[in-house]
Amino acid sequence: MAISMFDRFLTTPEMAAVFDDAAVMQAMFRFEEALASAQAEEGLIPAGAARAIAGACKVQLYDIGAIVDAGRRAGSLAIPLVKELTKTVALYDADAATHVHWGSTSQDVIDTAMVIVTREALALLDDRLRQLSAIMLSLTQQHMDTPVLARTLMQPAQVTSFGFKLAGWLAPLVRSRARLREAAARALQLQLGGAVGTLAVMDQAGPAVVRRTAGSLGLKVADMAWHTQRDEWVRLGLEVAVLTGSLGKIATDLSLMAQGEIGELAEPSGAGRGGSSAMPHKRNPVSAMIALAAFERTPQRAAAILACMGQQHERGLGNWQAELAEWPALFLSADGALAALQEAFAGLTVDAKRMRANIDSLNGLVFAEAASIALASAIGRPAAHALLEQLSGRVVDSGRPLGELLAEHVKNEKKLRDCIDSAALAALFDPIRALASAKRCALEQLSALRTDYPTFLSKNDNP
């Protein structure tokens, strides 16, 4: 699969190689070789024919571009591929050539090839997820006691723990890794049904040929041909899309926290990374940018493969072909986003001082809710809320800290002075104390992840 330079910008060479034209065609040849071998073992074709076919199933023997061009005219890439394979086998064994692709159909070849290369693509995603999750787990554990602003609707809300924020980024990745494994176990199936999915040409030997072919390729035996039963396959693709969505969320937060005005996080720099052609001072979050760009393309791909499910009768006209064209892009985007974020988090700068400064710059306003609840026991919640709302307005007008204004008010109000402990009141404005519940929640989430997904997150996980 030839991809543009802009596509290459948003993915990795490793994933591009998985879906390269030569790789997909070699997977098609692997199917033909495995099919011939299985049929020979079941006595359907001569053993010598199977050996001759296997000898010709090498992609380097063929003009890939010519096969692709011919496939457009024929309506299927498999048709010219089988034709060229047959001609090559005939050069050495004319009788063997009559047994090429026997009892199979074009969709069997192409679907199985896509399953084979998708298995490799999933292995790449799994390994990158393992590495990124380990890095993020380490950062989560390091920053449980690092206070940072939580923001809702793009505005400062309360103080939380940066470890809590990291745990919230990590958890969907752990779940996606598990879901991808589960979906792959169901979807990575051999496709072999013949013309209309009934294995009619192979008759009684058909099921045995299917088992042998699947075993040779290391694939699951499907209950029946899934030529137009695309549910498990599409679910797998949608899990990849969900993963990319989670990566887009992380990239969004990273880019926002890396803004110069915020300055709480920074991606690695140096060696020309993140620079500007016009502004020497800039340190652009290029990993977040790549992950976001990759994510932006994913919803359309996911929608496209869903739209392709309404296939006609026993073989789709146009929709299956569209699905094939969309499928690799899901993996190219996911791997590009994963690799970019892995690079970012491996060298991430966490500026705890800036995080604290951003909290302090708000003059205690982010502690208003906690203070309101503390006063509610003395004057009731509505009155406490109204008081904190009034004092918050004075903070904005005067620039004085909320804690200072509240302490003065309590001191001047006998009802409050008699029942509110000044030390306890002051403690409400301590960022470390304020993050205690966030830290507890983060630790509970990590514990739950280790319990629910022990294969994917353990106490021994290290970057």
For residues 329 and 237, state if they share a domain. yes
For residues 414 and 327, state if they share a domain. no
pLDDT in tens, 396-453: 999 999 999 999 998 888 878 888 888 888 899 999 999 999 999 999 999 999 999 9
Q: In the structure, what pLDDT confidence band is assigned to residue 459 with cuts at 50, 70 and 90?
A: low
* Res 425: pLDDT: 87
Please tell me the pTM assigned to this model.
Answer: 0.93
Residue 189 and residue 115: Cα distance in Å, rounded? 7
Number of domains in the chain: 3
Q: In the structure, what pLDDT confidence band is assigned to residue 458 with cuts at 50, 70 and 90?
A: low
CA distances from 442 to 179, 280, 432 (A): 22, 39, 15
Q: In 3D, which of 1, 19, 4 has the Cα closest to residue 335?
A: 19
Strand 147-152 relative to strand 155-161, pairing: antiparallel
Rounded to an integer, the average pLDDT of 337-366 is 97
Asked if residue 272 is part of any domain, the answer here is: yes
Residue 318 has pLDDT above 60, yes or no: yes
Residue 281 has pLDDT above 80, yes or no: no
Strand 349-350 relative to strand 265-266, pairing: antiparallel
Rounded to an integer, the average pLDDT of 76-83 is 96
Say which CATH number the domain at 412 has: 1.10.40
Asked if residue 149 is part of any domain, the answer here is: yes
For residues 308 and 387, state if they share a domain. no
Q: In the structure, what pLDDT confidence band is assigned to residue 16 with cuts at 50, 70 and 90?
A: very high
Half-sphere exposure of 288 (CA within 13 A, CB side): 20
* Res 134: pLDDT: 95
Tell me, yes or no, if 276 is annotated catalytic: yes
Q: Which residue has the tokens 């041909």?
A: 225
Asked if residue 358 is part of any domain, the answer here is: no
For residues 124 and 73, state if they share a domain. no
Say which CATH number the domain at 311 has: 1.20.200.10
CA distances from 268 to 39, 278, 283, 444 (A): 56, 20, 9, 30
Residue 34 and residue 210: Cα distance in Å, rounded? 10
Rounded to an integer, the average pLDDT of 67-80 is 95
* Res 276: pLDDT: 42
Q: In the structure, what pLDDT confidence band is assigned to residue 277 with cuts at 50, 70 and 90?
A: very low
* Res 122: pLDDT: 98
For residues 88 and 205, state if they share a domain. yes
Q: In the structure, what pLDDT confidence band is assigned to residue 9 with cuts at 50, 70 and 90?
A: confident
Residue 304 has pLDDT above 90, yes or no: yes
Say which CATH number the domain at 12 has: 1.10.275.10
For residues 69 and 136, state if they share a domain. no
For residues 28 and 56, state if they share a domain. yes
For residues 78 and 163, state if they share a domain. no
pLDDT in tens, 236-251: 999 999 999 999 999 9
User: Six-digit token pair at 462?
Assistant: 């290290």
For residues 141 and 258, state if they share a domain. yes
Asked if residue 194 is part of any domain, the answer here is: no
Strand 265-266 relative to strand 155-161, pairing: unpaired
Rounded to an integer, the average pLDDT of 172-180 is 98
* Res 423: pLDDT: 87
Q: Is 374 exposed, middle or buried (0-12, 13-18, 19+ CB in 10 A)?
A: buried
Q: In the structure, what pLDDT confidence band is assigned to residue 53 with cuts at 50, 70 and 90?
A: very high
Asked if residue 17 is part of any domain, the answer here is: yes
- 270 bridge partner residues: 273
For residues 121 and 168, state if they share a domain. yes
Rounded to an integer, the average pLDDT of 372-391 is 92
For residues 421 and 461, state if they share a domain. no
For residues 125 and 32, state if they share a domain. no
Asked if residue 454 is part of any domain, the answer here is: yes
Residue 237 and residue 125: Cα distance in Å, rounded? 13
* Residue pair 403/426 in contact by the 8 Å Cβ criterion: yes
Asked if residue 153 is part of any domain, the answer here is: yes
Residue 311 has pLDDT above 80, yes or no: yes
Tell me, yes or no, if 437 is annotated catalytic: no
User: Six-digit token pair at 303?
Assistant: 């929608």
User: Six-digit token pair at 361?
Assistant: 């710059």
pLDDT in tens, 247-264: 999 999 999 999 999 999
pLDDT in tens, 329-339: 999 999 999 99
Asked if residue 21 is part of any domain, the answer here is: yes
* Res 344: pLDDT: 96
* Residue in 276, 377, 437, 447 annotated catalytic: 276
HEC string of the chain equals CCCCHHHHHCCCHHHHHHCCHHHHHHHHHHHHHHHHHHHHHCCCCCHHHHHHHHHHCCHHHCCHHHHHHHHHHHCCCHHHHHHHHHHHHHHHCHHHHCCCCCCCCHHHHHHHHHHHHHHHHHHHHHHHHHHHHHHHHHHHHHCCCCEEEEEECCEEEEEEEHHHHHHHHHHHHHHHHHHHHHHHHHHCECCCCCCCCCCHHHHHHHHHHHHHHHHHHCCECCCCCCCCCCHHHHHHHHHHHHHHHHHHHHHHHHHHHCCCCCCCEECCCECCECCCCCCCCCCCCHHHHHHHHHHHCHHHHHHHHHHCCCCCCCCCCCHHHHHHHHHHHHHHHHHHHHHHHHHHHHCCEECHHHHHHHHHCCCCHHHHHHHHHHHHHHHCHHHHHHHHHHHHHHHHHHCCCHHHHHHHHHHHCHHHHHHCCHHHHHHCCCHHHHCHHHHHHHHHHHHHHHHHCCCCCCCCCCC
* Residue in 130, 151, 181, 315 annotated catalytic: 315
* Res 422: pLDDT: 83
How many other CB atoms sit within 10 Å of the CB of residue 181? 14
* Res 413: pLDDT: 84
How many other CB atoms sit within 10 Å of the CB of residue 26? 19
The pLDDT mean for the chain works out to: 93
Q: In 3D, which of 58, 118, 111, 110 has the Cα closest to residue 88?
A: 58
Residue 461 has pLDDT above 60, yes or no: no
* Residue range of the domain that includes 174: 105-189+226-352+437-463
